[in-house]
Structure 1
Amino acid sequence: MDVCRDSYGVFANLSVFNIWTCSLCYVYLFPNGPLRFNYNVSNPGLIKVENIISGNIHIETTSDVCESLGGYDCERWRDCCQAADTCCTRQRSISPDSRLGHCPRTWDGWSCFDDTSPGKCVRLSCPSYVQYGSLKGHVEKECTENGSWALHPETGKEWTDYSKCVNIKGFKGVVYASVGASVFSLVFLLPATLILMAYRQLRSQQRIRLHVCLFMSFILTGLLSLLWELLVYNDRVENPWKQTFMFRKEVSCKVIYILLRYATSANFFWMFCEGFYLFRLLVHAFQVPRSIKQYFVIGWVGPALPIAIYSTFRSIYANDICWVKNAGGFEWIVYTPNLLSILVNLLFLLGILRILLSQLHQHPNEPSNYRQGFKRALKATFVLIPLFGLQLFLVIYRPSNDSAFGNMYEIVSKVIIDSQGGIIALVFCYMNKEVLSCLKTSIHKLNTRRGKRVPSLITNYTVVSQRNNDNEAKCDVTNGDRSPNVSIALKSMRTNWNGAS
């Protein structure tokens, strides 16, 4: 048998078959790619290629095709072409089945099938070049009783079931984990931001203003993450390709993607600002910064620079659908400053612990001071880890999607990353004694104005409130007059760490 067959029923010799199947590999793998292959089933040797971006139709080698793809996608396409070539060689080397009524050997566009008896279902391993596919799954192709391959109910063409190559439940599990973690963060972040901004005593402090900016960056990330997961990611899993949001609204999809990348980078930059501010207070305990304008520039303008550079290169060299695919080396334009932020914060934490532990050596013969210093260092470790983003080191290594932990990693990483804002809000707002004191004062005044008895929960703190009558005026939302000047860094840190006590 000197010719090879594909699922269209096309029979061609090896040279024509290679060109024909490679064009179909491109069409199947990259349905929205920049190249358009105009082919005719009746004449598979006549294929016209057009680049819809530049109008270039001079495609002569595989390198010309790869120029329209990234390195990873080029390898996927080459692997598909090689698999088709191997299939054709196999078809030509095996003697034809002398039995009548069997399903003919064929290349279905991604996989190779031999002659098959009627009523039999053939199972093969999933090919490596299927996007989001898993090598642990399998494809199925059914040979009907009349000796013909099963047809797709909508297209009426020979059909192979590749649904088991993609773990739909696993992808949905990732969506649910991300949505749940994002909602958790937003539920705590939104009220926390309003609380910190409502009280003059709180919002006048530099560290609180940094907290508010960090909270706002996490709120922006949470909202955009919800929009991305529900409108883009989940939509792609549930609907056919041409009915998805990313296909119909490509420009809007790219805008959401870039905004999400900016918000995520802003998280890292603001975590760096928090670490730098706290470390500076410890090193220069009696030199409180007069202004923190430079922190606002770093936190909000800083991430815009790498995102702008990334977007420019991406639009020129990797302008695929919605930019959801990995852009290879261009991704390090965004990854590098983010990674440096948490690495520097790790050094800040080590420096803070060194300063705190050094206090233990000042009173080696006083057990109470030793225990207090050790407790303070331990508290700093647990409290500052989420604030500095150091828990992200737990998911910094991404295992292969085909490994046993591939899907579990995706779920765990979504929970760790998307719930960080909520955890920070819990520690630095709802568990902060200074914030709780302001809230209790407001509740006390509200009940006093209504002529009602203060609830027992507030009564328990009456003694504390009476000892600090000035605090009642400072925590008034409308009548606060001035805020304390933090002159000693350890006092400021102790106020922050009260949330962990």
Structure 2
Amino acid sequence: FFFQTLPSQVSPVVTQKVEERKKIINGQYKCFEKMNRDQPYNKSGPYCNRTWDGWLCWDDTPAGTYTSQNCPNYFPDFDSTEKVTKYCDETGNWFRHPETNRTWSNYTLCIAHTKDKLKMAYILYYMAIVGHALSIVSLLISLAIFFYFRSLSCQRITLHKNLFCSYVLNSAFTIVNLITVVNNPKVVQRNPVRALTSTILTSSLLLPVLLVIGCKVLHFFHMYMLGCNYFWMLCEGIYLHTLIVVAVFAEEQHLHWYYLLGWGFPLVPASIHAVARKKYFDDNCWMSVDTHLLYVVHGPIMAALLVNLFFLLNIVRVLVTKLRDTHRAESNMYMKAVRATLILVPLLGIQFVIFPWRPENRLAGEIYDYIMHILMNYQGLLVATIFCFFNGEVSRLSNILIIHKGIFHSNCDIIYYGSLFLSRNKKIKQGNCNFLSHNSDFFICIFSLYQNLLRFVCLYLYL
């Protein structure tokens, strides 16, 4: 949920826009207040007087020494983790640049890595597009599988379908936002409505939905779908908890409450965030993350993750302690359903735990950005893989369908029988690829997934 705006070019001369000027004026005001408030310099020897250099405030500095502080955050090209230096010479005067003969502060490090950061921004940008595109494709395939096999129809699969739909919509809104807003500096830098109105007359490349409703409404739907993702995951946890702990393996539940929680409740924080953002932090396209108003959306999401984790741990406790001697086969079946959700909740929620803790070191920060983008942009692919492609029942039904359709007489014979022969030699049992099993091996899991994908390819070619 954070994206860097991709500038059209990087210039060493930074254009001061309205928001940047406001920050500078505010910094100047605070600097003069500080200079008037601080005590006079009381050390012996020459020194340079406290001053405001136009961007930063400098304290009294002993002669012959360097002083430094972090780069300001006024401009998008500046790296606030780098340092600005200023030299006080032996005579007690601030250093003057030989070309201009004016006092000079060294801001060169603030933009030293701008080209590298721009390159990384584009890498992360395309990673996000590819990740969400793969998520949409895998989720649509999973939905097609769930709808095709009618024997899979049950309440738990219905919840899976709704979860998948929320991820498809979220990925679609994210891709639209990336292409039409994040990669369009004219939309971000100018008034969105005016920019979009002028774009209608000059270009036909923007998506019609963005041209009509604007980037802020697009951001609202993105926030709404983000909430739907996690509250449908909470619905999965509540359903399993009710099924196993509360109702003791009762089959039918009233799903309309789940629809209300999954699709209805996320409208509340998304709407509150939109109203508050409009009133208190109305930046262009609502792209800035420098506001606590984001917790209006992220707070309920974190609460849903914690509640879900509690439910799942309680389910595991019940299955392990109370159902050890009775309902052994049934408890094993439900344990398999719990495992997938138990794996996904920490994986999907860890980004909200480590999000505020971005390292200040440049290399560590880049590694952090890559990890965060993988966790955020490939969630749909992860959900589809665990809930569908690693589903033993889906694999079993695909085998039955392949045999029933007589696909063994097609060109897939060699591929399928080869994989089947290898699986027998590897002693891979159907549906044995689960992450929590003590018998699981990473390479066996990868091979089993590869085998299932071959089956789906053969099935697709036949149909």
Report the TM range for the smaller structure's normalisation: 0.5 to 0.7
Pairing 1:207–2:150 present: no
Rounded Cα–Cα distance in structure 2 between residues aligned with 1:223 and 1:172:
19
Pairing 1:301–2:264 present: yes
Residue 371 of structure 2 is matched in structure 1 by: 412
Out of 269, 287, 309, the residue aligned to residue 231 of structure 2 is 269
Out of 125, 130, 144, the residue aligned to residue 74 of structure 2 is 130
Pairing 1:78–2:26 present: yes
Pairing 1:163–2:107 present: no
Out of 379, 382, 385, the residue aligned to residue 423 of structure 1 is 382
Rounded Cα–Cα distance in structure 2 between residues aligned with 1:296 and 1:169:
42
Pairing 1:388–2:345 present: yes
Rounded Cα–Cα distance in structure 1 between residues aligned with 2:192 and 2:432:
45
Identity %: 24
Q: Decide whether the 8 Å contact of 1:188 with 1:425 is kept in 2.
A: yes
Rounded Cα–Cα distance in structure 2 between residues aligned with 1:240 and 1:355:
54
CA deviations on 1:90-127 (whole Å, 9 max, x unpaired) are xxx9xxxxxxxxxxxx97742589xxxxxxxx997653
Classify 1:108/1:332 alpha carbon distance in 2 versus 1 (closer, same or farther; 3 Å). Answer: same
Rounded Cα–Cα distance in structure 2 between residues aligned with 1:137 and 1:191:
46
Pairing 1:191–2:141 present: yes
Rounded Cα–Cα distance in structure 1 between residues aligned with 2:233 and 2:112:
41
Kindly provide the amino acid, as one letter, of the partner of residue 147 in structure 2: M
CA deviations on 1:197-250 (whole Å, 9 max, x unpaired) are 222222x311111111111111112222223334333444xx897589798349
Q: How high is the TM-score relative to the length of structure 2?
A: 0.63
Rounded Cα–Cα distance in structure 2 between residues aligned with 1:330 and 1:241:
19
> What is the DSSP-based 3-state SS (H/G/I as helix, E as strand, rest coil) of the residue aligned with 1:336?
helix
* Structure 1, gaps ≥5 residues long: 1-26, 38-64, 66-72, 94-105, 114-121, 150-159, 364-368, 463-494
Out of 298, 307, 319, the residue aligned to residue 344 of structure 1 is 307
> What is the DSSP-based 3-state SS (H/G/I as helix, E as strand, rest coil) of the residue aligned with 1:455?
helix
Residue 402 of structure 2 is matched in structure 1 by: 443
Kindly provide the amino acid, as one letter, of the partner of residue 294 in structure 2: E
Out of 395, 402, 410, the residue aligned to residue 360 of structure 2 is 402
Rounded Cα–Cα distance in structure 1 between residues aligned with 2:379 and 2:319:
25
Kindly provide the amino acid, as one letter, of the partner of residue 387 in structure 2: F
Residue 332 of structure 1 is matched in structure 2 by: 295
> What is the DSSP-based 3-state SS (H/G/I as helix, E as strand, rest coil) of the residue aligned with 1:396?
helix
Classify 1:176/1:30 alpha carbon distance in 2 versus 1 (closer, same or farther; 3 Å). Answer: same
Rounded Cα–Cα distance in structure 1 between residues aligned with 2:369 and 2:191:
23
Q: Decide whether the 8 Å contact of 2:224 with 2:266 is kept in 1.
A: yes
Out of 166, 170, 178, the residue aligned to residue 217 of structure 1 is 166
Out of 178, 187, 195, the residue aligned to residue 248 of structure 1 is 195
Q: Decide whether the 8 Å contact of 1:257 with 1:323 is kept in 2.
A: yes
CA deviations on 1:453-497 (whole Å, 9 max, x unpaired) are 8825667999xxxxxxxxxxxxxxxxxxxxxxxxxxxxxxxx999
Shift of 1:259: 1.4
Rg (Cα) greater in structure: 1
Shift of 1:145: 8.0
Q: How high is the TM-score relative to the length of structure 1?
A: 0.59
Shift of 1:358: 0.7
Q: Decide whether the 8 Å contact of 1:447 with 1:454 is kept in 2.
A: no
Rounded Cα–Cα distance in structure 2 between residues aligned with 1:374 and 1:455:
34
Q: Decide whether the 8 Å contact of 1:224 with 1:260 is kept in 2.
A: yes
Instruction: Indicate the larger mover: 339-348 or 438-447.
Output: 438-447
Shift of 1:424: 1.7
Classify 1:445/1:298 alpha carbon distance in 2 versus 1 (closer, same or farther; 3 Å). Answer: same
Q: Decide whether the 8 Å contact of 2:69 with 2:85 is kept in 1.
A: no
Residue 467 of structure 1 is matched in structure 2 by: none
Question: How many residue pairs end up in the alignment?
Answer: 366
> What is the DSSP-based 3-state SS (H/G/I as helix, E as strand, rest coil) of the residue aligned with 2:112?
helix
Q: Decide whether the 8 Å contact of 2:235 with 2:258 is kept in 1.
A: yes
* Structure 2, gaps ≥5 residues long: 1-13, 42-50, 59-65, 87-95, 198-212, 421-429, 441-463
Residue 469 of structure 1 is matched in structure 2 by: none
